[in-house]
Chain A
């Protein structure tokens, strides 16, 4: 197995608030890893650091063996190979669905427009959205918008996909369509790291689960281990709260 991502000793603070306090993590190629933990435990910040949207204060991140936290690294090139999908979609509202998907391939990869559009249509078809290609994002449901965001990230042919609580802003009946898309991606061998509250999904699809608590990885294991016999008290408490809330 080749290693897709390795994180060591990652620290990040926003002013007074220390969000990450030394995170270590390793993800193999074709692996699906879920980050679980309460709101504010640092899941999103960790993903944003991996994508270099936030600059880590200390620690090292390797993507396919390359130290991307070193000075002089071309951050744009790193981001090309690491896709991220956000909780709030963040589609470009002034562009059609198709243009959202083709913007980066034409501008960053310098693909000819026609080729990028062919590929964009193919991606949208795969996600069941090709009839929406010429719509603007605000005409779409939340689930459709989130699938467009996934297509937009996939259009760059990333090696790793980071998914930041991408179902949290969706109405319950729209969650399934997005999770199905993720299942399909996992089946095709995409390396994925998800910050998620969907424990059922984590149990079904993830190879490994990390439990984050107050900026540290408290526990790591297979879904079976974490969900059925967690070692740490904090993990137990968290899972009990989730079960009490009917999310599992």
Chain B
């Protein structure tokens, strides 16, 4: 992966080993011994502290009950399989929608202002509202409306909520990748006669995606965990009655914060690259 990006440099692995250097043999054995002993001491201390706390028996009974664990295991596994399925479905749509949003947002020029604006509003709103509230509002709001032709399953809309919310986050990851590709790459592509879209598709986006794979994986892990929200929201709708009020409060805090971040990023970008027509 890294080989085609660290232009001219040696492969990652060899550079690292050269910097850290191979430790001497005796020094190595001593290091390993210290690491093992210190880890064991810390671990034993934590276990001791927890199991000797006054209410440990109650906690143990509530969270770590052996019978309940074995009893519910088959059911949990079945639900887990379903969550994995939700995750896979959501992930495909998140990847597509987020890329679309990122591309919309990186269009330059006054003609694209409305498109760019829509993408900005989208990311602001869906990054601003906690995912669990988006899921709740969709899962119960839309089936309540009884719109003909639209599915009424809360689970369906809960997945849609996850997709909408995560697309906002993932689009920012893509956008960071797109902006990290040096403008000279676009110059080179355009100079060969490639259109704006072709340059984006063949030159910019492939390089951008390679660079953002690690943070994308990070968001995958988060999304996989958050599929659990679906079950919670669908099971206990009452708990989220005040959802709309709460989401407004969140937006008041998060939108100024994201605007500030955008301003800082943009200022940094301007400083890095002088104006270029393409």
Residues on A close to B: CB < 8 A? 14-15, 48, 51-55, 76-77, 79-80, 83-84, 86, 88, 90-94, 103-104, 107-109, 136-138, 152-153, 156
Contact = CB atoms under 8 A, between A and B. Distances in A.
A94 B204 CA distance: 10
Given A94-B4, A94-B206, A136-B4, A104 B193 contact: yes
B200 to A, nearest CB: 12
Contacts of A138: 3-4, 6-9
A79 B3 CA distance: 31
B192 interface: yes
B277 interface: yes
Instruction: Give the most central of B190, B191, B198, B277: most A CB within 10 Å.
Output: B191
B207 A94 contact: yes
A94 B7 contact: no
Contacts of B4: 93-94, 136-138
A93 B8 CA distance: 10
Classify chain B's interface size. Answer: 20 to 34
A90 B202 contact: no
Given A54-B277, A108-B192, A94 B210 contact: yes
Contacts of B185: 90, 92
B7 A53 contact: no
A106 B190 CA distance: 14
B198 A86 contact: no
Contacts, number: 81
A199 to B, nearest CB: 26
B188 A79 contact: no
A93 B192 contact: no
Interface string B4-39: 111111000000000000000000000000000000
A55 B274 contact: no
A51 B278 CA distance: 11
Interface string B251-268: 000000000000000000
A156 B193 contact: yes
Contact of B278 (A53, A77, A80, A152): A53
Contacts of B187: 48, 53, 86, 90
Contact of B202 (A51, A83, A107): A107
B184 to A, nearest CB: 5
Contacts of B192: 79-80, 83, 103-104, 108, 152-153, 156
A99 B111 CA distance: 33
Nearest to B5: A93
Interface centre among A90, A109, A136 (most CB of B within 10 A): A90
A53 B193 contact: no
| Nearest 3 A/B pairs, CB to CB | A104-B192, A90-B188, A80-B193
A88 B207 CA distance: 18
28 contacts: A51-B191, A52-B277, A53-B190, A53-B278, A54-B277, A76-B193, A76-B195, A79-B193, A84-B191, A86-B184, A88-B184, A90-B184, A91-B188, A92-B189, A93-B207, A94-B206, A104-B194, A107-B194, A107-B198, A108-B193, A108-B194, A137-B4, A137-B7, A138-B3, A138-B7, A138-B8, A152-B192, A153-B191
B97 to A, nearest CB: 24
A48 B184 CA distance: 12
A201 to B, nearest CB: 23
Nearest to A88: B184
B149 interface: no
